[in-house]
Amino acid sequence: MRNTVRCEADAQRTFGCPSIRTDIPNKRLKSVADHQNYGDEPEAIDLLSPATFVEYGISEADFERPRPREEIRALFEKIGFSYKVGKFNAIFNRAVCYARDPYALPENCVSIRCFMTAINDLHDLE
């Protein structure tokens, strides 16, 4: 058995079934009996060493979800990060620059992760 193709026509051919099934649509309701991997399952490291926030029911997707300006401000004020209006707007505008595709985001929305990165950059400059 060798890992080679017999003819040139098979050089770009895909053999077998992929382990992550992007060709099958996700089911609306998840079931234990569904053995397909749709690519939305956690990594092994996340199962062995879960993040601190998992204990509180916060997933990694919650940090990546775009949120409006006032919701970001309220969330960060609740955890002790209250900024004056000008400083908050500067951090928020910098966070918009960190978004992967700022044009795909709703207007005046950033993720918590982008906002945290902008705060860290601000503290590095000070």
pTM over 0.95: no
Summarize pLDDT for 80-92 with one digit per residue, the tens: 988 999 999 999 9
115 within domain boundaries:
yes
Per-chain mean pLDDT for the chain: 84
53 within domain boundaries:
yes
Summarize pLDDT for 63-82 with one digit per residue, the tens: 989 999 999 999 999 999 88
Q: Quick one: average pLDDT of 94-111?
A: 78
**Confidence at 114, pLDDT banded by 50, 70, 90:** very high
120 within domain boundaries:
yes
Does 125 score more than 80 pLDDT? no
Domain that holds residue 25: 14-125
User: How many structural domains does the chain have?
Assistant: 1
DSSP, res 68: E
Give the C-alpha separation, 80 to 83, whole Å. Answer: 9
Helix, strand or coil, per DSSP, at residue 59: coil
Backbone angles phi, psi at 99, to 5 degrees: -60, 140
65 within domain boundaries:
yes
- Alpha-carbon separation of residue 7 from 2, 3, 49, 73, 123 (angstroms): 14, 13, 46, 61, 60
* Percent residues over pLDDT 70 in the chain: 92
Give the C-alpha separation, 112 to 91, whole Å. Answer: 12
